[in-house]
Structure 1
Amino acid sequence: MNRLKHLFEHKKGPALSIYFTAGYPELNATLDIAEALEKAGADFLEIGFPYSDPVADGPVIQESSQKALDNGMTLEILFKQLKDLRKRVTIPVMLMGYVNPVLQYGVENFCRDAAKAGVDGVIVPDLPMYEYEELYSECFAKHQLSNIFLVTPQTSEERIRKIDSLSNGFIYLLSSSSTTGKNLSVSQNVEDYFKRIKSMNLDNPVVIGFGISDHESFQKANQYANGAIVGSAFVKLLGSGDGYLEKIPEFIRKIKGSGVS
């Protein structure tokens, strides 16, 4: 059983995913951060590979991407860092980024190296669904990588059903159509959207991202989903100066709340 499937079938309570940008705040901090997050109680991770034009990202993650690029981070370096991933981290790990660097690296090379490192899946927000299905799905399947699709409040039921049929990890439910870093505000429209998705009884677990930053928003999201993703709030912590690794346990505790494993 793959790590993602095992997580969602056996996890008691909501799952917490943490996103961070590879190469930020320091080039070689990737595995130190990942290991610290698992020890602190994160259930799965999203490691972002930086890109110079991150259109879906808010200012915090944009800044972290630029800093990571300035530090010298590339996909080649990231995969070299990840060669020891499974010696230090046991929870599911996703790679997240934009399609341009993947195409430049080569989709086959990317999938091969991700699988070799022990990566469980990939989130590429600007990869069109039809391109994935027609051109790349066999490559992902060959290397046993889940491709994670994003759903927004504007996504039609027909498309969501199609995404569900193509997915074998989880579905990434955006809380809004804005960029990352906006606080989750569960208005009536957003609540209706969450309820609509939940009522569809999809085959894949649903994880909510964008705007999850504290225990309250984590709890709100998990009324409607199997887990939630924290990104910008954690990236801010990484940019807060020396000692960021020591701050991780308290950060995770505050998101999950006392008594939540």
Structure 2
Amino acid sequence: MNNNINIGHPTSKDHHSKKLNIYFTAGIPKLNDTIEILKIIQKSGADYVEIGMPYSDPVADGPVIQKAHEVALKNGMTIAGLLGQLKSVKNEMDIPIILMGYINPVLRFGFEEFCKECNDSGVSGLIIPDLPPVEFEKNYRKILEENNLNFIFLVTPETSDKRIKYLDSLSSGFLYAVSSSSTTGNNTKEINNEEYLDRLSKLGLKNPVMIGFGIKNKADFESVTEKAAGGIIGTAFVNILMNNEDWAKPAEDFIRSIQN
């Protein structure tokens, strides 16, 4: 079990050193597939795994991942169920696990209890896009630190330099740089927004930057990681899980194709 998100700032343009984070929604295609998917992601050479906690109104996500949330909820996936699955396999996982979700179901679960359970289940960090940073600082930061959990904020091309530095100061592990203002999975021409990536690289940020939203293949991954520590792939991977009855081999082949 590896609870440490240690990405490090990129020191060269060696793409083999760029970190790959694979996202999928817990509870798809079937309720109990999560563990097998986790093991495939680890075996295939990804550096991190980001697991979506299903929610009925995933506003930051595009139609593919929205559909995945819907399927997962119909399958009966819950936060408690996911944490139980993770706990059962935590001693077999060597790559950090990050949970991505929305604040309402976490508050219903109980924030402090949720963080304790995450720590017990081998989770390394959280991404909660709709948790305001002021609330994070005031009410939640200490709880996360007490439970050895990183917290990762998102920035976009429209985020001001001042706010980027503020969110970077609150984040640990890495800073999640959304490649455009769209939702996940959109076909955006901003995937290689050089001005944006240049701006991020020149801000002297505390955390390494991981780029997400819209990365579909090796070419996209190499393009966005020219000036970032790594990339996050979600929609393209979720599509494989959702659209292939025998998804295990295509999922493994896809991950291997990104960095090989």
Asked whether the two chains share a fold, i.e. TM above 0.5, the reply is yes
C-alpha change, 1:10 and 1:89, in structure 2 (3 Å) is: farther
Matched, 1:197 2:189: no
Q: Percent identity?
A: 47
Partners of 2:251 and 2:149 in 1: CA distance: 28
Matched, 1:127 2:128: no
Matched, 1:30 2:34: yes
TM-score by length of 1: 0.93
Between 224-233 and 236-245, the greater mean CA deviation after superposition: 236-245
> Which residue among 230, 233, 249 is the counterpart of 1:227?
230
C-alpha change, 1:108 and 1:216, in structure 2 (3 Å) is: same
> Which residue among 81, 84, 91 is the counterpart of 1:80?
84
> Which residue among 58, 63, 68 is the counterpart of 2:62?
58
Per the alignment, in what secondary structure is the counterpart of residue 101 of structure 1? helix
Structure-1 residue corresponding to 2:8: 8
- 1:210 maps to amino acid: F
User: Which residues of structure 2 form unaligned runs of 5+?
Assistant: none
TM-score by length of 2: 0.94
> Which residue among 200, 203, 214 is the counterpart of 2:217?
214
Q: CA deviation at 1:9?
A: 7.0
Q: CA deviation at 1:186?
A: 4.2
- 1:212 maps to amino acid: I
Per the alignment, in what secondary structure is the counterpart of residue 151 of structure 2? strand
Between 121-130 and 237-246, the greater mean CA deviation after superposition: 237-246
Between 94-103 and 243-252, the greater mean CA deviation after superposition: 243-252
CA deviation map 1:153-201 (0-9, x unaligned): 111111111112112210000000100002353478x210111011112
C-alpha change, 1:125 and 1:137, in structure 2 (3 Å) is: same
Partners of 2:171 and 2:132 in 1: CA distance: 14
Q: Is the 8 A contact 1:152 1:173 kept in 2?
A: yes
Q: CA deviation at 1:3?
A: 2.1
Structure-2 residue corresponding to 1:242: 245
C-alpha change, 1:200 and 1:68, in structure 2 (3 Å) is: same
Matches within 5 A, 1:101-140: 101-140=105-144
Q: Which 4+ residue blocks in structure 1 deviate beyond 4 angstroms? A: 9-12
Q: CA deviation at 1:87?
A: 2.3
Partners of 2:98 and 2:183 in 1: CA distance: 20
> Which residue among 159, 162, 167 is the counterpart of 1:158?
162
CA deviation map 1:50-103 (0-9, x unaligned): 100011110000000000000000111111111123222110110001111111
Partners of 2:234 and 2:218 in 1: CA distance: 14
- 1:254 maps to amino acid: S
Per the alignment, in what secondary structure is the counterpart of residue 130 of structure 1? helix
Q: Is the 8 A contact 1:115 1:144 kept in 2?
A: yes
Structure-1 residue corresponding to 2:50: 46
User: Which residues of structure 1 form unaligned runs of 5+?
Assistant: none
Partners of 1:206 and 1:231 in 2: CA distance: 17
- 1:130 maps to amino acid: V
C-alpha change, 1:118 and 1:177, in structure 2 (3 Å) is: same
Structure-1 residue corresponding to 2:74: 70
